[in-house]
């Protein structure tokens, strides 16, 4: 099964977890980057709550080429950061998606995020909330 770990990391916590997961599973790894890094994520919280995509550098990964897509990213105010929504916006219909959301509190709006993924015609196969200091489950 060809797997992609695609992630956004604001401060490096999600990057470390994504790199570790890709190394342990043999998955391909792709980092989504901001066009311009926000100085303070607080100002992007309304976009996160509204499930708006962020302004990111072009995502060149061919998501349709993978059997499984693992999306990882930070949670801001219980919602995925806007660049994570940019990833979700590009999901191909029929994609098998696992979500791993990283936050200091370890919780997110699971139902809303799942509904957003499903609105793209993709299927959520697993959803994990990970506290930022925690090792990702396999």
95-107 pLDDT, tens per residue?
999 999 988 765 6
What pLDDT, on the 0 to 100 scale, is given for residue 48? 78
End-to-end CA distance of the chain: 15
Give the Cα separation of 91 and 3 in Å (integer): 14
7-47 pLDDT, tens per residue?
999 989 999 999 999 999 999 999 999 998 767 666 677 77
Contact indicator for 92, 122 with CB cutoff of 8 Å? yes
pTM: 0.90
**Residue 49's pLDDT band (cuts 50, 70, 90):** confident
């Amino acid at each position: 099964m060809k797997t992609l770990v695609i992630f956004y990391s604001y401060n490096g916590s999600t990057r470390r977890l994504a790199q570790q997961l890709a190394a342990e599973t043999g998955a391909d790894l792709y980092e989504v980057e901001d066009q311009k890094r926000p100085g303070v994520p607080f100002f992007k919280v309304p976009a996160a709550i509204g499930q708006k995509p962020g302004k990111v550098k072009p995502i060149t990964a061919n998501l349709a080429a993978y059997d499984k897509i693992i999306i990882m990213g930070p949670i801001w105010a219980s919602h995925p950061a806007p660049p994570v929504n940019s990833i979700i916006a590009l999901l191909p219909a029929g994609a098998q998606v696992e979500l791993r959301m990283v936050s200091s509190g370890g919780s997110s709006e699971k139902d809303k995020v799942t509904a957003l993924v499903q609105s793209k015609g993709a299927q959520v196969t697993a959803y994990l909330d990970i506290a930022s200091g925690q090792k990702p489950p396999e």
